[in-house]
Structure 1
């Protein structure tokens, strides 16, 4: 049995009545650490995280899905975790993003909107001798290698 697949089913059962919550990632690491990243359109509370952890932990023990010792870690993705889902982009409209393109180039700008297959950022462009201007740039999602939210301490 595929552990990650079974865990995904269990998490989906647990959050079925909470449509604002969604799975970001599930990964069983070789060192026995099972990591479940869950988020919500408006964030996720500690009660939901704890509930998912208890439910999944109990079911895994009951079904004896994992035969070796393991550590279960349920959390929301931190700001250092790259965005994976369109739902995460939607949640971060208005925030500044650092985008690593598939071709290795980097872009930076404020996320202003999202379509089905692209994001739109406001990017500051400065030409020599001119004042910086903000332009809207449409970036196809399939051209993005990685996107992280930039933390502002202003």
Structure 2
């Protein structure tokens, strides 16, 4: 059921997102603290505003009400993925080429679970990183999460 609801949200939100030139980033349907949440994450080139989220929320909520795919109460949210969102799409990877990243591994890499590296290249299966002055190639399956490194 979970996957089906996520697929439905994707299908009904895409025409709305395309109309306003927003990017579909992700959808999440999960239970937190006894309450179900359906979340749609969107983005655009110069960033998402609260007004953008409200616009999409109202339009997608109307569609959700029409088709009523969920038979229990839930909270629907539309949100920006944030500046430190994990790299998931080809666009995410392109945007972060030659930038500092935080890379977390499932198993340790050179004795560490997390490293800071620069994304040099990527394809469907691997990433090429600059780490400690050397170029390394890492299988994407070994990476738990990779996101922009935020420095203050």
Distance in 2 between residues matched to 1:57 and 1:17, nearest whole Å:
16
RMSD: 2.4
After superposing on structure 2, the runs of 4+ consecutive aligned residues of structure 1 that deviate more than 6 Å are none
Unaligned ranges ≥5, structure 2: none
Deviation of 1:15 after TM superposition, in Å, equals: 2.1
Q: Across the two proteins, how many residue pairs are aligned to each other?
A: 142
Which of 115, 135, 138 is the equivalent residue of 2:123? 115
- Residue equivalent to 1:45: 48
**Number of the residue aligned with 1:26:** 27
Deviation string for 1:31-66 (max 9, x for gaps)?
1211111223x2443244333211111111122233
CA distance in 2, matches of 1:81, 1:104: 22
Q: Secondary structure at the match of 2:107?
A: coil
State the distance in 2 between where 1:43 and 1:121 align: 26
Q: TM-score, with normalisation over the residues of structure 2? A: 0.76
**In 2: Cα distance, 1:32 partner to 1:82 partner:** 23
Determine the structure 2 residue equivalent to 1:127: none
SS in 2 for 1:32: strand
Equivalence for 1:129: none
TM-score by length of 1: 0.75
**Contact persistence 2:84–2:150 (CA under 8 A):** no
What is the aligned partner in structure 2 of residue 77 from structure 1?
A: 81
Residue in 2 that maps onto 1:14 = 16
